Every structure is written in structure tokens, then in C-alpha cells.
Amino acid sequence: MSYTKENKTDVDTSVSPIRETEITNSGSKGWFGDFKDSFKPAVVEELDPNLTDIERANILSARSPLHRNLKPRHIQMIALGGSIGTGLFVGSGSALSTGGPASLLIAWGLVGIMIYCTVQAMGELTVTFPVSGSFVQYNTRFISPCWGFCMAYNYALQWLVVLPLELVAASLTIKFWNSTINSAAWVAIFYVVIVIINFFGVRGYGEAEFVFSFIKVIAVIGFIILGIILNCGGGPKGGYIGGRYFHDPGPFADGFKGLCAVFVTAAFSFAGTELCGLAAAETHNPRKSLPSAIKQVFWRITLFYMISLTIIGLLVPYNDDRLLGASSVDATASPFVIAIKNGGINVLPSIFNVVIMVAVLSVGNSAVYACSRTIASLSEQNFAPKIFGYIDRQGRPLVAVCFTLAFGLLCFLAASPKEGEVFNWLLALSGLSSVFTWGSICFCHIRFRRALSIRGRGTDELAFSAQAGVVGSYFGVLLNVLILIAQFWIALFPVGGSPNASAFFQAYLTVPVLIAFYVFYMIWKKTFLLYLRADQIDVDTGRRDLDLDLIRQEIAEEKAYMATKPFYYRAYKFWC
């Protein structure tokens, strides 16, 4: 069966060969001249003005002049430890206090299974369509432009707010050692570090995340080994602990309601897991590097979340007073630090606080990357002013990066007495953003498989297919809906509190904001198209490999090669 394009336009929808800098005059202009020229716009091809918004978005995302400078080691380390931050290191403390150790394992376990299914679905889509904007653009392609508009702004808002929050959080970690220095001074230092990293382009982001993630991975592995030793009585204080705290004070703190509250914290701690998919368009060879990186997420969930949280539940009782009343960035409230202190080790808490500071900076760095690429994608989809789609000759979405960094200047509110109130409401704007993002990724995968099916095509043309299949995506959609329902209940009737309008909107403001986006889009575009039919979905634009017969042959050869290998090798390749 020969391959023919189904997208009826007079424009070549394959990826444009224009990727790198186009310099009109030969030779180098010297380092300063080359540096100055790097900020000039990348050369892109003009498009047919008669294209629809969806066709235009699909083609622009495929032809984006973003540079493919991320290597497999960058992608794998981003997938393995990229988004591990305060949600795990500090937020798990409040979750332990609210729900108890059993709730911790149940909530993180179920959310972890959902994340695994979601990342697998995202991997199938991003390997097939490694386009600019990735899953942000898929919403427009596979669901509807209206939903794509809402989800893109939802995701951009999430990271736009996270940047100043994380910069303030990084400055507050210093108070662990010295509380006399004004936080604004440390904020300024960390802000400059983030600016420098991101002006090196995607390579700067990749190298920084490689280092940050490596530190976090080593720290968590070290804690797991130390935790096992302490639990067995090998610490300075000695004494076997075992499962004592699962019996007294017990496995659950507030029953089913406490468990529901922990679900929300668990979802927050996994935020950013999807970043390896967002980087697909800037990966040198996504077909080779992304599948391996996607599989690493299983080990992140199993090793860094489930095992470390099991040890936390064994070493820290949920009624420990130090878990209560501290801010979400206070290292003294970290159950990791509390566990080490309980073991009688004096030096390690300071070392782990350094890890928490690195984790916070890592998330701040990722915020600039994610927000800038999302804003650029909004411009490509004609959802934002054209200037935000400006990409320079170094492949940097320059205007989007500058806009994100400018918003990050809100970090200097750290010197204001109203800082807490302002940031609480800013965070409320996108508090449930990740839940909507994950649910949309799963639904995009379901729609993609449906669009292939009605064309008589299947997974034999996919270089990577989700190990959990469409069933995993249905589970992902279902669990995300259940998390939204649980959050609504907890927001309306807080654990240990009474109904409060301010607390409700701080927990659930994302939903009315999305409704406002939906209404605005329908008025702006004067359209009520809420859902694309499967036969309207474009399943070809943006593929880097357009010879489907060749892909099928290569996939068949790979399967035949794997069949000749022993079981242990096949098992290793399945999980790694």
C-alpha cells in the first residue's frame, strides 16, 4: 500500500528543511557580530493565506525553526528527575499529616499509574509528531481549536506563575541557615542565574537540567539507602523501627476524606512529568531518544516516589508536630529532613536542604522553558499576537522567553508583607492545571487512535506505541476526572475546617478561569465548534518520517531482531 497525503492543501506539509541560521554574508563577523546576529529572526517560509486555522497551526508547528540541540542524555535525565521538586521533598509532609502513611502510598500509587499511562500516550504522540508545542498543539489538532486555546493558556499560566513562586521558594530555603539576610537579595541572585541559563537556548536548559536532575536522583537514592539503615536500627540512636508508625498512630489520619486530600497533593508533586514531551521538537532524534526517556518515567514513579514515600511512612509518624504549620517551601517541614533528624544525624539535614534548593531552582528553570515554548505555540496557532512567535537564529523563542522572565520579576514581592496573599491567588489561577493537561493528553491519544482506525490504519506505522494502549488513556481520563471531583469536595468541605468561599476559590479557581477562556474564544472567533469529527483530524502533518512503508518494514525488522534475544534482554528493553 503506497502512502498518499490526506491533508488537501497546496502546501507541502512535511517538515521544512530550514532549521538553522541563514546568514546572507559569508564568514564570521567576530564573536560580537555573531552574537548580535543570533538575535535576528530565523528564516521561515510563507504559508498559503487560504489555510484554515487548524491547517496553519499544524504546518507551523511542524516547520518551527527551534533548534534540535537536546541529546538523549538530556531527555533521559529530564524524564528521570526533571520535575522532582517541593511537591515530593516538602509537600509530602503535609500529605502525610493529612492522610497518614497508607493514604500516601495509595494516592501516589494510583496517580503514578495514571501518570505512567499519560506519559506513554504522550510518548506515542510526540514520537509520531515531534512538533513545536507538542501536547499543547495536539489539543487543537485532535480535539478542537477551542479546547486547544483553553489548554494552551491554562498550561502557560501554570508555568508563568510557578517561576516567581519558585524563585521566592529558593530564597526561603536559605533561611534554614541564615534568617537575617533579606530574601530579596537571594531572589535577585537566583533570578540572574535563571536568566543566564535560558539565554543559552535549549542547550543551556538541557545542560542545567542534566546537572540539577543528577543531583536530585543521587540525593533520593542516598536517602533510600540511609532510610533502610535507620529503619533497621543502624543510625546513631539505634533501635529497630520497622512498621511501628503504621500501628501507632496508625495507617490513616482522616479516613477517606484524608485520602482524597492527599490525591491533590500527589497530583501536584507529579506536575512537570510531561516536560520531556514538550522538548520533542528540540530533540535531535526523537524516534530514538524519546521512547527510552518515556520508559524512564516508570522508574521515577517506582523508585523516587513509591520507595522513598514508603520509607518516609516508616520513619516519620503522621502526628509529628513539625509537619504542621510550616510553609510549603519550609525545609524544616520536609519529612526527608525530619526523618534524618530523628535518626540523630546532624550534618545531613543541611545537605538535604541544598538538594531542596537545587530542586526549586530546577523547577524555576523548567518554568521558563515550558512557558516560553507554550506562548510561542499559542502564536503559531493564531491564539496570541504574532510577535510572541518570534524565534531567533539560535532557535530561542526570544519574545516569549523575555515575557516569561519579565513576569518572573514578581519574585521581588518577597520583600512585601502582602507577598503570601498575592502568590496564593496567583497559584490558584492554575492550581489544577496539570490535571487538565494530563486528561487532555490521554483524550488526544484516544482521538488519534480513533482517527487512524477510521482510515483503516493502525499501530504498525508507529515507531513507538503506548505500552498501556488506549485502555491506559481511558484510565487516565477517568482518574483525572475523579481527582477533580475529589478536589471539589475537599475545596468545599476542607479537612478539619468549615466551608469558606476564599479557601474554595483558591483551590478551584482554575475551573471558572477555563470557562471564561472558553466563552472568550467563542465570542472572539464567532464559532461554536467544540469537537472535531475523527475524519477531520490530520494524522500526517508534522511527521519527520513520511515513508510509512519504510517505517513498517523497520518496525517489523526490529520486532524480529528482538524475538531472537533472550528473555532477560527483552524484559530490559521493555522497561528501559
Q: Which domains does the chain have, with CATH numbers?
A: 72-545 (1.20.1740.10)
Higher pLDDT, 326 or 447: 447
Measured distance CA(400)–CA(368) in Å, rounded: 9
Q: Is the dihedral of CA 502, 503, 505, 506 positive or negative?
A: positive
- Residue 308 has a pLDDT of 93
What is the tens place of the pLDDT at every residue in 495-528? 777 788 888 888 888 899 999 999 999 999 888 7
Query: Which three cell numbers mark 352?
Result: 538535604
> Which of the four pLDDT bands, split at 50, 70 and 90, describes residue 405?
very high
Measured distance CA(390)–CA(377) in Å, rounded: 11
- Residue 277 has a pLDDT of 83
- Residue 333 has a pLDDT of 75
Residue in 305, 269, 221, 251 with CA at minimum distance from that of residue 94 = 269
- Residue 48 has a pLDDT of 65
Residue partners of 171: CB distance under 8 A and separation at least 6:
183, 184, 185, 186, 187, 190, 411, 414
Q: Which residue has the cell 543528577?
A: 214
What share of the chain has pLDDT > 90, as a percent?
Answer: 31
Measured distance CA(486)–CA(476) in Å, rounded: 15
Residue in 54, 85, 67 with CA at minimum distance from that of residue 373 = 67
- Residue 101 has a pLDDT of 93
State yes or no: pLDDT of 23 exceeds 50: no
Q: How many CA atoms lie within 13 A of 434 on its CB side?
A: 26
Residue in 372, 434, 529, 522 with CA at minimum distance from that of residue 54 = 529
**Count of Cβ atoms closer than 10 Å to residue 252 Cβ:** 17
State yes or no: pLDDT of 38 exceeds 80: no
Q: Is the pTM of this model over 0.85?
A: yes
Q: Is the dihedral of CA 443, 445, 451, 456 positive or negative?
A: negative
Measured distance CA(140)–CA(129) in Å, rounded: 13
What is the tens place of the pLDDT at every residue in 320-348? 888 865 444 556 678 998 999 888 888 88
Residue partners of 280: CB distance under 8 A and separation at least 6:
126, 127, 130, 131, 134, 286, 290
Mean pLDDT, to the nearest integer, of 275-284?
A: 82
Q: How many CA atoms lie within 13 A of 292 on its CB side?
A: 15
Measured distance CA(307)–CA(323) in Å, rounded: 20
> Which of the four pLDDT bands, split at 50, 70 and 90, describes residue 88?
confident
Mean pLDDT, to the nearest integer, of 70-82?
A: 81
What is the tens place of the pLDDT at every residue in 287-312? 888 888 888 888 878 878 899 999 99
Measured distance CA(110)–CA(260) in Å, rounded: 12
Per DSSP, 85 falls in state: S
CB 99 within 8 A of CB 253: yes
Residue partners of 491: CB distance under 8 A and separation at least 6:
503, 504, 507, 508
Q: DSSP secondary structure string, 265-315?
A: HHHHHTTTTTHHHHGGGGBS-HHHHHHHHHHHHHHIIIIIIIIHHHHHHHH
DSSP H or E run through 234: none
Q: DSSP secondary structure string, 112-124?
A: HHHHHHHHHHHHH
